Amino acid sequence: GFGIYNEFMGKYQFDYLKNNIDLLQPHFMSEYGMDLASELESNKNSYITYHKLITVPMNGYKDAWDYVRKAAPYDRIPMIKTPTMFLNSINDPFMGEKVIDYDIFKKNPNVVLATNKYAGHMGYHEQLFSMKQWHGIPSLDFLETLRD
C-alpha cells in the first residue's frame, strides 16, 4: 500500500531536488531559513519527507499529513452533486492503482472514474512514444451524455 508508494515517489522527488540543489538552496535559505541541502542528506527519501521539506513551507500547511489530507479529493467526492468525471491512469506514479479508492467513486452516482492502464501522471498518452492522448474521447462522451 502506501509504504511502497511513499518510498517509490520519494526517490524520484529527491533525485529531482538533489539535481537542482544549486537553484533551490538560496531560495530555501532566504525564504524559509532552511538549509535544504543538509535536510536532503539527513532525511529519508520519501513522499512524506518531500512534502515536509517542500510543500509545507511553500504553502503554509501545518505538516505533511495536513497537506495529504487537504490535497486528496476523497473527503469531497461523496459531496459532489454536479456530474463530474475523474481521469486516472493505473500506472500514474503519484496516484496509481494502489491508492485509488474505487468504492468512494462507486457510492456517488454523480461521479465517474475513467482509467487507462498506461498513461503516466498527466499525459494520458495512448502509447509510450506517442503524442496521441486518450482522454479526449471519454471526456467528450461524458459531456455528450450530460447534454443528452
Question: What value does the mean pLDDT take over residues 31-48?
Answer: 88
Q: Using an 8 Å Cβ cutoff, are 78 and 111 in contact?
A: no
Query: Residues 56-87: pLDDT tens digits?
Result: 999 999 998 898 888 878 789 999 999 999 88
Nearest to 111 by CA among 138, 148, 136, 79: 79
pLDDT band for 144, please (50, 70, 90 cuts).
Answer: very high
Q: So what's the pLDDT on residue 148?
A: 83
Query: Residues 79-108: pLDDT tens digits?
Result: 999 999 988 877 776 666 677 888 999 999
DSSP code of residue 125: B
Is 115 strand, coil or helix?
strand
φ and ψ of 73, to 5 deg: -85, -10
Q: So what's the pLDDT on residue 53?
A: 92
Q: What's the pTM?
A: 0.61
